[in-house]
Amino acid sequence: MKTGIVKDRRFLNHTMGEGHIENPGRLEAIYSALEEENVPPYVELPPRPAEEKEIAFIHSPEYISQVRSTAGKPSVQLDPDTSTSPLSYETALLAAGSLLETADTIMAGSGIQNAFALVRPPGHHAEKSRAMGFCIFNNIAIAAEHLIQKHGLKRILVVDWDIHHGNGTQNAFYHRKDVLYFSIHQFPFYPGTGLWGETGQGEGEGYTINVPLFPGKEDADYVFIFENMIYPLASEYRPEFILVSAGFDIHREDPLGGMEVSDRGFGAMTHILLNTAAEFSQNRLLLTLEGGYSLTGLQEGVLAVLEQLAGNGSKPEIEKDLSVGTARELSQVFEILSDYWPIP
């Protein structure tokens, strides 16, 4: 199995000012880890900028022109946490476009079955008409819509393991069933959305699943959710493609997040998703980088994911069992899930 990686130094061209936690150093740390010896083999996939009409799958024309108007300007504040630099617009187009190009490569079935887009700016908070939480364009939502419009897919599973709820992605598909959005996130926490009761509306009812969790969750908790919620859900939904908002802010060393996931946890989660994709989705699995603010956490986490994607890893052993506290929190989610899905 061949794994594709998107990495390009042009993603370092977007900056939000001195001291901002979402900075080019994050990708520099990951890219330098990929230079080390013993990195699992991968094929580098060249990115391309998204066209504005592709960005418009998700975003309003007014918002796109607002972002376009920042090009070349020193800095424009788009949201309390999100600002631009002269090349941000160009970089945001490249981030979204790299997912589209990679999705096309996977769909072509020419040997690359899974891939990881190591890009920035991240995307899952970006709403139809506004930037939010370090995100400018919603890369993963644009990719999902591209798979539907260009490739005619009818069922896409988006797994969002970033510590923050992906409000932008949820809202983009809240009334639809062709994208099943599944998010695990710390709660209460930024951005404040993602409660159990948010399950979609109309045709989309039951196609948004939120797993809000108190901080302190470990590998075993995440693995339990992947095995007992995501896998059975996929076996019912039968996604034709799995997209992942991979945030490494659940890493135990992350300065923003309160979760305790280790490299073994990232490996195990990826292992389960690979098996899920092999069983139901013709191996089609595309991850994109969202958050993650510990440089060590990013390096360890990305390498653990890559090890699995390259087909080198058995599933890492997770020693601990689910805690009583987690079981209690998850029982609420199971109750809601059972309203829509025949999951034991």
Whether 125 is a known active-site residue: answer yes
164 makes contact with Zn ion (CB under 5 A): yes
Among 54, 249, 260, 300, binds Zn ion (CB under 5 A): 249
67 vs 163 by CB, closer to Zn ion: 163
Query: Helix, strand or coil for residue 49?
Result: coil
Structure tokens at 328: 């209690």
Query: Helix, strand or coil for residue 151?
Result: helix
When computed from its CA atoms, the radius of gyration of the chain, rounded to whole angstroms, is 18
Least distance CB 250 / Zn ion (angstroms): 8
**Count of residues engaged in binding Zn ion, rule: CB under 5 A:** 6
190 vs 340 by CB, closer to Zn ion: 190
Closest CA to 7 of 134, 98, 109: 98
Closest CA to 157 of 235, 241, 96, 230: 241
Q: Which helix (H) or strand (E) holds 314?
A: none
218 makes contact with Zn ion (CB under 5 A): no
Least distance CB 134 / Zn ion (angstroms): 8
Least distance CB 291 / Zn ion (angstroms): 3
Query: Helix, strand or coil for residue 130?
Result: strand
Residue range at the interface with Zn ion (CB under 5 A); choices 5-13, 49-57, 97-105, 157-165: 157-165
Among 121, 168, 291, 301, binds Zn ion (CB under 5 A): 291
Least distance CB 218 / Zn ion (angstroms): 18
Beta-carbon contacts of residue 126 (< 8 Å; ≥ 6 apart): 58, 59, 132, 135, 136, 137, 138, 141, 168
Residue range at the interface with Zn ion (CB under 5 A); choices 180-188, 249-257, 299-307, 328-336: 249-257
Site track 94-133 with Zn ion (rule: CB under 5 A), x = hit = ----------------------------------------
Closest CA to 183 of 207, 216, 202, 217: 207
Residue range at the interface with Zn ion (CB under 5 A); choices 175-183, 277-285, 287-295, 299-307: 287-295
User: Among residues 14, 125, 165, 185, which one is catalytic?
Assistant: 125
71: Cα within 13 Å, side-chain hemisphere: 10
Site track 30-69 with Zn ion (rule: CB under 5 A), x = hit = ----------------------------------------
Q: Is the peptide bond before 188 cis (omega within 30 degrees of 0)?
A: yes
- The residue written with tokens 């034709």 in the block is 240
b vs e for 201-221, b when ≥16 Cβ sit within 10 Å of the residue's Cβ? eeebebbbbbbbbeeebbbbb
The DSSP symbol for 158 reads E
162 makes contact with Zn ion (CB under 5 A): yes
Residue range at the interface with Zn ion (CB under 5 A); choices 103-111, 112-120, 242-250, 307-315: 242-250
Q: Where are the beta strands (DSSP E) in 148-188?
A: 156-160, 179-186
96 vs 246 by CB, closer to Zn ion: 246
CA distances from 49 to 88, 93, 111 (A): 12, 5, 23
146 makes contact with Zn ion (CB under 5 A): no
- Return the amino acid letter for 221: D
247 makes contact with Zn ion (CB under 5 A): yes
74 vs 192 by CB, closer to Zn ion: 192
Active site residues: 125
Binding site for Zn ion (CB under 5 A): 162-164, 247, 249, 291
